[in-house]
Amino acid sequence: MTVKVDAPVVSASIKSPSLQICDLTSRGPIEYESGLELQEQTHLRVSSGLSPSELILLEHESIFTAGKRTESHERPLTGARVIDVNRGGKITWHGPGQIVGYPIIKLGNPAELLGYVRTLEAALIAVLGHFSITGRCIKGRSGVWIDGQRKIAAIGIRVAQGVTMHGFALNVNCDLSNYQEIIPCGISDGSVTSMKLELGREIEVGEVLPLLKNEMNAALSPLIALRESSTLPTRSDLL
């Protein structure tokens, strides 16, 4: 299945250059390969100067994906399907109830990758704070953690031609049993959690999305290369 590119776009009007946001969550879970194809198409347009930087938001159908540093013993023992991808990090799971964000951004300083990752983490921590969930970073480990033991958001990125790919996954109300088949992110001395589990109540993806968009827009827009023209066509202009 190929994802069409006629999704609604929300553009930030406060700063220039600004981050476009393509929200596909209303379409339901999307096959990972289709999401990857959309990423690659968007990356090509942004790196070629044909489109402005963009954040793609979606949910995936259930799938394991393995980054370049994944070791064989970290993969599912059940023989479940795993897609190997060209991002950093190790193996993780994606599926319904998890918001996946793919920032396709022309970075003003492509060499400052750690700063980019920390920016993503800070934005996710701010989102959690709106729900009175205290997230933290842990030295030597990417992503966002609760009490230093439970991982609630994963991050894995790639940068090519100064433009980012892949991104983050925030567990909202997903089925955490999927993580039992793997050693998530290669970390054996920690566990995985969700906003639903931490809150002790039901929570829907739609409840989180507006806050996530606002925080990501505020955090990522300043990182966009100043040479990126604010007059570039948006996604809908390219149809």
Q: Exactly one of 22, 137, 174, 185 is catalytic; name it.
A: 185
Q: What is the pLDDT of residue 184?
A: 58
Rg of the chain taking only CA atoms, in angstroms: 17
Q: What domains are there in the chain, each with its CATH number?
A: 9-238 (3.30.930.10)
Span 215-224, average pLDDT: 96
- With vertex at residue 23, the alpha carbon angle to CA 237 and CA 145, rounded to the nearest 5 degrees, is 140
pLDDT (tens digit per residue) in 31-75:
999 999 999 999 999 999 999 999 999 999 999 888 777 777 777
Specify the amino acid at residue 209. L
Q: Respond yes or no: is residue 185 known to be catalytic.
A: yes
